[in-house]
Amino acid sequence: MTVIIGLEIHCQLNTQTKLFCGCSTDYREDGPNTHVCPVCLGLPGSLPITNRQAVIYALRVAKALHCEVPEVSEFARKNYFYPDLAKAYQITQYDKPLAVGGYIDIEGEDGGEKRIQLTRIHMEEDPGRLLHMGSGDRGRYTLVDYNRSGVPLIEIVTEPELSSPKEARRFLNKLRATLEYLGTFDSEKEGSLRVDANISIKGHERVEVKNITSYKGVEKALMFEITRQKGMIRRNATIVRETRHYQEARGVTTSARSKEFEHDYRYFPEPDLALLRVSSWVDEITLPELPDARLDRFMKDYGLSKNHARTLTGDLRLADFFEEVCTGIPEIAAPWTADILLGELNYRDMPISKVPVQAFRSLLMEVKKASVTDKSAVEVLRLMLNQVMDGTPPEMADEIIARLGLAKEEGDSIVEIVTSVLAEHEAAVADHRAGKPGAINFLVGQVMKATRGRADPKEIGRIIGDLLKE
Amino acid sequence: MGGRFVFEKPDPHNAFITRCMDVAYGDGPLSGIPIGIKDNISTAGIPTTCASKILEGYIPPYDAHVITLLRSAGAAIVGKTNMDEFGMGTTTENSAYGPTQNPADPTRAPGGSSGGSAAAVASGLVRMALGTDTGGSIRCPASFCGIVGLKPTYGRVSRHGLIAYANSFEQIGPLARNVGDCALLYSVIAGYDPKDGTSLDLPPPAPLQAEIQGKRIGVPAEFFGEGVNPEVADVVRSAIDRLADLGAEVVSCTMPSMRYALAAYYVTSMGEAASNLGRYDGVRYGPAPEFFRPWHDAYSRLRKEYFSEEVRRRILLGTFSLSAGYQGKYYAKAQKARSMVRSDFNRLFEEVDIIAGPTMPSVAFRLGKSCDPLSMYLADILTVPANLAGIPAVSVPCGTAGGLPVGLQLMGRHFAEDEILAAALAFEEGSA
């Protein structure tokens, strides 16, 4: 059963002011309805004026994603009633979008490169938001906050060319990285990215899942929906064309009540705005280095593996962080950042921006000097991250190592320890001599235990080998 | 020197919805002149209702651009004038605040939808007033009340703060008892406004002077076609003869697209209206819906109760004409017809400078007699073409039929307000 997935992705453009008025878009820390004016409230008589910066940002995205920008595009009204929609219509683009075509290359299921074609990119304004007091339908009343009303969005629509949740996840990661590299988008802001997904099994009707607001949610919603649809097909049930909602907390999709959400948007050209003739602006837009180019550069300049380079360039902040710490030690910095540090951050749900660059680099220098074992180094890293979480200033690696006595056991002292361990475990030594394969590991383990991890297991193995040969 | 204006005169014709009894005014070309403002133009601190129950109690927090201009020109804004609800009507009877009477004959309607503004001027309550013209809403009441009214070129006067009925047609414009005052008020409100995306940046209006000599005046046969009252037609024909006497060259012509104009206007304007009026849902202004109902149910009950029948009719027709499956059949066709009207005007204005005809096909209607909506829509046949094309048009009194005022309509090329006002002044002075 072949899975066919297409995505519609709404991204908030990171402009200072809203799409059709001068209100600030920086509303998240502020109280409800503090960033509003007659235009974003849709007050009678107010008129929209297009924010030039928002158009330039959208064009920047269009150029980076290889889209074509038609000579003329047009804003239209999408009419529908909803309590958070100030004017009872949303200004969006309909049959004349800002950009058409384009593509994003991702790693496909087979590990090769896969090109996902885009249908279009268009601009639109965000509606406000509702705050239900009480639970669901039984809430006593609902409050409306128009701070978000008029925030500029772009909607990126893909062709139905994704074939698995994993590909969808990779696509979104690549898109997010590209948008962040462009400086037009901030994925750390709440609600900055929202996805609707069209999912079908080849030969059957498609289902639209709306309302997915997290990256993880997309993969989970798709997996749930594919399982559901495949199950229905196996039971010979008919998949009906419908809109479903993704419920983040439960990880399931549920059918939207069709009557309430049956829409006829009655699009028509927005009479208050002139046609957009901005295709010539595209030539003047210069693009920064984008994820693919940076990946190539990381491989070439730092000698990184493709996997490490992909991980490190997949996030603008991470890539910047890496370049700050890697000077002179890229071969150590790459695995320590991409594998170990990222793992620790994920576990703590900590953003890369919180990691103290100098402290982390000091740790890498200790690793380079081989003054600690890898195991101890991880211990030091965890301590540093805990210090950040506690709000205490992070110590440099050598301070922590000295304070906790984590310096690697080396030379004569380690030979002494090994000798005494061998003396304590004669049976294992005999087993080893008899050629039993597990015996050496046991002995190494005992030495590690005795040194509390402050020794290099490989070296211990070598020393044991040397001593027992004598 | 500024001062205060005390607005004491009684309002026997119900021209005003809201009166400001004691207002401050400043210095400037309109210093101390009392001006009435149609109640669909936003005035900070003064209720603005569009003559609708659904906006009852709404006080805009900001001034329309034209109000800002009037204030800085020293005008005394003495109140908000009656109108057809949201500008929908030809008689000013369709107001939640009751009908306005025509000062020329109180048993008759002042015309619509700026009937309150026209009556306020015609009765001498104010010297000038602002109206809005979507399909003739300034020129019709000017004609019926025997005063001067100008619909400027689309984009010439900022619509910022004008509560929209049909955005792509409507313009704010002046009403006054004579061409001079009309031109004075126009000169204050015309100009570029960066807050209106359709505003045009043009040189300021020229000083007004009478000028008609050598102008070519086109008279389309369709403007005297079926439905035009013969008496009215005679008065207007002799007015055009007087223009010829004053030195104009009168040319007969035709405007074939006229037969599509009304349909194009109503389909498009109702589509825009349906969209514009969606925001009146009881959430932020107007009476609150019953909150124990689901929101869509509350909306629909409130909108049914507080919009008048005429407004609901236009919302429903507009919604229908934009609906999936009908868009191409109605809205798209109307857009085509609209561009035919535009190109008809373009063609005519290669031959002539001004197009002349009656403003309205009849004199003022009797109050309470206009119950058939379709025949009311037909009354807009002569004013609507200028709105479809966005060109300027002025209505100037040109005599009476059966003792009631008749208006002569002069239409010009885009941005040719100066030219049609000059012709109107020549006519006014020549006929004086």
Cis-peptide, bond into residue B113, ω within 30° of zero: yes
Residues of chain B contacting A272 with CB distance shorter than 8 Å: 159, 164, 167, 196-198
The residue among A418 and A73 whose pLDDT is bigger is: A73
Q: What pLDDT shows up at residue B334?
A: 97
> What pLDDT does B432 receive?
45
**CA atoms B88, B92, B93, B97: torsion sign:** positive
Task: Give the residue on A whose Cα is nearest the Cα of B163.
Answer: A45
Based on the residue annotation, tell me whether B137 is a catalytic residue of this protein: yes
Q: Which among B308, B311, B358, B354 is positioned nearest to B140, based on CA atoms?
A: B358
- The pLDDT assigned to A256 comes to 82
Task: Give B89-141 pLDDT, tens digit per residue.
Answer: 999 999 999 999 999 999 999 999 999 999 999 999 999 999 999 999 999 99
Substitution target in B283, B292, B330 with the highest count of A β-carbons within 10 Å is: B283
Has residue B168 got a pLDDT over 60? yes
Query: How confident is the model over A221-225, as a mean pLDDT?
Result: 96
User: Given this model, what pLDDT does residue A285 score?
Assistant: 96
Tell me how crowded residue B67 is: count the other CB atoms within 10 A of its CB.
Answer: 25
Residue among B408, B403, B413 nearest B360 (CA) = B408
Q: How many other β-carbons are positioned within 10 Å of the β-carbon of residue B18?
A: 18
* pLDDT tier at A465, thresholds 50, 70, 90: confident
* Beta strands at A113-125 and A152-158: parallel, antiparallel or unpaired: antiparallel
Kindly determine whether residue A266 and residue B278, on different chains, have CB atoms separated by under 8 Å: no
User: For residue A141, what is the nearest residue in chain B, using CA coordinates?
Assistant: B291
- Cβ neighbours of B41 in A, within 8 Å: 45
For residues A242-255, give the mean pLDDT. Answer: 90
d(CA B160, CA A20): 13
Of A77, A268, A273, the CB nearest to B197: A273
Task: State the amino acid at position A409 in one-letter form.
Answer: E
Distance in angstroms (rounded) separating the CA atoms of residues A296 and A328: 19
Which position has the higher pLDDT, A470 or A116? Answer: A116
Task: For residue A20, give the nearest of B153, B156, B162, B160 by alpha carbon.
Answer: B160
| pLDDT given for residue A259 in this prediction | 55
Q: Give pLDDT, residue B292.
A: 73
CA distance B123 to B120: 6
Q: How confident is the model at residue B72 (pLDDT cuts 50, 70, 90)?
A: very high
Q: Report the residue of chain B nearest A78, measured CA to CA.
A: B275
> For chain A, what's the residue count?
470
Q: Cα–Cα distance between A400 and B15 in angstroms, integer? A: 86
What is the average pLDDT score of chain B? 96
Whether the per-residue pLDDT at A470 is higher than 70: the answer is no
pLDDT at A229: 96
Chain A residues near residue B64 by CB distance under 8 angstroms = 45
Beta strands A207-212 and A193-201: pairing type? Answer: antiparallel
pLDDT at A330: 94
Nearest CB neighbour to B275, from listed A43, A45, A79: A79
What's residue B398's pLDDT? 97
Measured over the CA atoms of residue A332, residue A334, residue A340 and residue A345, the dihedral's sign is positive
- Reply yes or no on whether the pLDDT at A166 is more than 70: yes
Cβ contact B168–A271 (<8 Å): yes
Note whether B278 contacts A79, CB cutoff 8 Å.
Answer: yes
pLDDT of B155 higher than 70: yes
**pLDDT value, residue A411:** 67
Average pLDDT over residues B341-370: 96
Residue of B nearest to A144 (CA): B283
Q: What is the pLDDT confidence band of residue A421, given thresholds at 50, 70 and 90?
A: confident
Query: Does A331 score more than 70 pLDDT?
Result: yes
The whole-chain average pLDDT of chain A stands at 91
Task: Pick the more confident residue, A234 or B369.
Answer: A234
CB pairs under 8 A between A and B: 98
User: Which residue in the block uniquely carries the two structure tokens 């002046």?
Assistant: B174
Which has the closest alpha carbon to B151: B167, B177, B128, B131?
B131
Question: Is B42 considered catalytic here?
Answer: no
Q: Beta strands of A128-287 (E only): which ranges? A: 129-133, 141-145, 152-158, 193-201, 207-212, 242-247, 252-255, 268-269
Average pLDDT over residues A411-440: 81
What is the average per-residue pLDDT within A42-69?
A: 98
Q: CA-CA distances (angstroms) from residue B24 to B71, B102, B231?
A: 10, 29, 46
Chain A residues near residue B283 by CB distance under 8 angstroms: 83, 144
The answer to whether residue B53 is catalytic is: no
- Work out the pLDDT band at A262, boundaries 50, 70, 90: low
Q: Which tens digit of pLDDT belongs to each residue from B18-36? A: 999 999 999 999 999 999 9
* Catalytic residue selected from B52, B137, B199, B395: B137
Asked whether the predicted pLDDT for residue A286 surpasses 90, the reply is: yes
Supply the Cα-derived Rg of chain A in whole angstroms: 29
- Whether the per-residue pLDDT at B424 is higher than 50: the answer is yes
CA distance B167 to chain A (A): 6
**What pLDDT, on a 0 to 100 scale, did the predictor assign at position A357?**
94
B218 φψ region: left (φ > 0), alpha (ψ -120 to 50), beta (else)? beta
More confident residue, A448 or B417: B417
Res B85: pLDDT: 98
C-beta separation of B70 from B30 below 8 A: yes
Are residues A45 and B291, on separate chains, in Cβ contact within 8 Å? no
CA atoms within 13 A on the CB side of A463: 24
Instruction: Give the pLDDT confidence score for residue A154 in this predicted structure.
Output: 98
The CA-CA-CA angle for residues B174, B179, B183, to 5°, reads: 50
pTM of the model: 0.91
B242 touching chain A per CB within 8 A: no
How large a percentage of chain A has pLDDT more than 90? Answer: 69
Q: Letter for the amino acid at B228?
A: V
> Residue A12 in contact with residue A189, Cβ under 8 Å?
yes
CB-based contact B15:B131 (threshold 8 Å): no
Q: How confident is the model at residue B46, as a pLDDT?
A: 98
Question: Measured between CB atoms, does B63 come within 8 Å of chain A?
Answer: no
Q: Is A259 exposed, middle or buried (0-12, 13-18, 19+ CB in 10 A)?
A: exposed
Q: Which residues of A are less than 8 Å from B390 in CB distance?
A: none
Predicted pLDDT at A394: 84
Q: Does A94 touch chain B (CB under 8 A)?
A: no
Q: So what's the pLDDT on residue A462? A: 82
Would you tell me how many other CB atoms lie within 10 Å of the CB of residue B285?
19
- Residue A443: what pLDDT? 84
pLDDT band for position A260 (cuts 50, 70, 90): low
CB B52 within 8 Å of CB B96? yes
Instruction: Check B48 against A266: CB less than 8 A apart.
Output: no
